[in-house]
Structure 1
Amino acid sequence: MTGFVITPPTTASLAISGSDQVFPLRRVFCVGRNYAAHAREMGADPDREPPFFFSKPADAVVPASGTLPYPPATRELHHEVELVVALKEGGADIAPERALDLVWGYAVGLDLTRRDLQAIAKKDGRPWDMAKGFDASAPCSPLQPLSCTGHPQQGRIWLEVNGELKQEGNLDEMIWPVADVISYLSRFVTLAPGDLIFTGTPSGVGALNPGDRVRGGVEGVTTFELVVAGE
């Protein structure tokens, strides 16, 4: 019988609200510039650009609670609050009208970005991996089952830092709604149960500093609160 030469890594997972069970994580996909105002603040044209995607490691997903470590190798850590979709089914070339049938539930997360490293990568035509896929770069609230949220089509999405509102928008401002995001992504990869999709952020992204207290949420889904570790 064939065995592993080292102990297999623990399966990454995400807590489920009100349950002792957890949701196993397979892959984490993120949609770039999916709100028009954010696309403009990042220098893009929201009327012309199709959705694009990047990934984070599954074990970059950590609880959006308690104390969040400030990552090394950056002096410009940015927050991006997002609606997160968890899939219970998968497939390829999924039609938009069937895409929402794949959803298990929703959460609220942060796509944390080492913005200084991302700027260098963009300038030099290099990959974004170290700017987007570092340890603890995807804090996420517990998952809310679909029975608790339905499919949120509209509702306020927001983030505060030290009590000051930094990001605010509405889910109905997404350039590509959730069903379209799932369908479009499935043209490029075969989706599977356990996949998470971060669906983009509204305008107002900005820096987080050691000691900052961060609160955010999506109306009808959930809220979160955490503190960035001090130096």
Structure 2
Amino acid sequence: MSDHIFPLPDVFTIPVVGERATYPVRRIFCVGRNYVAHAAEMGSEVDREAPWYFTKSVENAVRSGSEVPYPPGTSNYHYEMELAFSIGTPVFRVGVEAAQKAVYAYCCALDMTRRDCQQDGKDRRRPWDLGKDFENASVFAPMTKAHEFGVVGVQRIFLEVDGVLRQEALLSDMVWSCAEVVAHLSEYYHLQPGDVIMTGTPAGVGPLVAGQTITGGINGLEPISLRIVSPA
């Protein structure tokens, strides 16, 4: 007999290239406005004093290759292609060098966004939860270990919708590096294995409709895909 009133959800995990075991996710942190051109297209500027963040619920994450319904409560559902990375060792209040050593693996990710809900939150000075944290709002491709991927730099990041290029940049365009993000975030959280950080999106975000397919990639990482279907 269960000790719980209702069944617990399955642990969300991400495959790791070359490993039989998967990476269990416990928390998802997201860096806001980490590309200058994307901040500009959103009518904002990057904060060069320090990175800033929002979070997403693990229960709302899905793997690459999924089919997801167009979400309720929006008429402006957007894609955002991102580099994500995972933590492999506990870190708290560390410098940039130690922060880089804590990175376990990298992967392609999608930060799906109800843009109209996000904008409403901005306009009313309210949280972004309705715009950023909803069912199927985070998508992750298989991870590649950090030592196999190498140094984050001039790798191309891109996204296509139905084969048409919509986003394209270099990872070197990020304002805050992965190590800088970890070092800063570790001032506020005891980061642990299971924590995943999404690093922001380049310019070129835009709306989707049911029936469209997203594909994206970063040189050296497993590609990502997502198909949008009609609401159930």
Give the alignment's TM-score, normalised by structure 1.
0.93
Q: Which runs of 5+ in 1 are unaligned?
A: none
One-letter amino acid of the counterpart of residue 218, structure 1? I
Deviation for aligned residue 1:145: 2.0
Deviation for aligned residue 1:91: 2.0
State the partner residue of 1:197.
Answer: 197
One-letter amino acid of the counterpart of residue 64, structure 2? A
One-letter amino acid of the counterpart of residue 159, structure 2? L
State the partner residue of 2:109.
Answer: 109
SS in 2 for 1:222: coil
How far does the alpha carbon of each residue in 1:138-170 deviate from its partner, in whole angstroms, 9 at most, with x for none? Answer: 011011122431232221000011111111100
After TM superposition, the structure 1 = structure 2 runs for residues 40-119 of structure 1, keeping only pairs within 5 Å, are 40-46=40-46, 48=48, 50-119=50-119
Contact preservation (8 Å) 2:153, 2:170: no
State the partner residue of 1:158.
Answer: 158
State the partner residue of 1:177.
Answer: 177
State the partner residue of 2:22.
Answer: 22
State the partner residue of 1:11.
Answer: 11
In the alignment, the residues of structure 2 paired with residue 59 and residue 15 of structure 1 have an alpha-carbon distance, to the nearest angstrom, of 17
One-letter amino acid of the counterpart of residue 201, structure 2? T
One-letter amino acid of the counterpart of residue 104, structure 2? W
State the partner residue of 2:226.
Answer: 226
SS in 2 for 1:182: helix
One-letter amino acid of the counterpart of residue 65, structure 2? S
- Superposition RMSD in Å: 1.6
Q: Which runs of 5+ in 2 are unaligned?
A: none
Deviation for aligned residue 1:48: 4.2
In the alignment, the residues of structure 2 paired with residue 38 and residue 82 of structure 1 have an alpha-carbon distance, to the nearest angstrom, of 12
In the alignment, the residues of structure 1 paired with residue 33 and residue 110 of structure 2 have an alpha-carbon distance, to the nearest angstrom, of 14
One-letter amino acid of the counterpart of residue 46, structure 1? V
What percent identity do the matched residue pairs reach? 38
Contact preservation (8 Å) 1:14, 1:61: no
SS in 1 for 2:105: strand
In the alignment, the residues of structure 2 paired with residue 155 and residue 187 of structure 1 have an alpha-carbon distance, to the nearest angstrom, of 28
Q: 1:24 to 1:74 in 2, by over 3 A?
A: same
SS in 1 for 2:223: strand
One-letter amino acid of the counterpart of residue 108, structure 1? C
Deviation for aligned residue 1:44: 1.9
Q: 1:206 to 1:103 in 2, by over 3 A?
A: same
In the alignment, the residues of structure 1 paired with residue 162 and residue 14 of structure 2 have an alpha-carbon distance, to the nearest angstrom, of 26
State the partner residue of 2:137.
Answer: 137
How far does the alpha carbon of each residue in 1:48-101 deviate from its partner, in whole angstroms, 9 at most, with x for none? Answer: 453110000112221121412221111111111000001111222121111111
In the alignment, the residues of structure 2 paired with residue 105 and residue 47 of structure 1 have an alpha-carbon distance, to the nearest angstrom, of 26
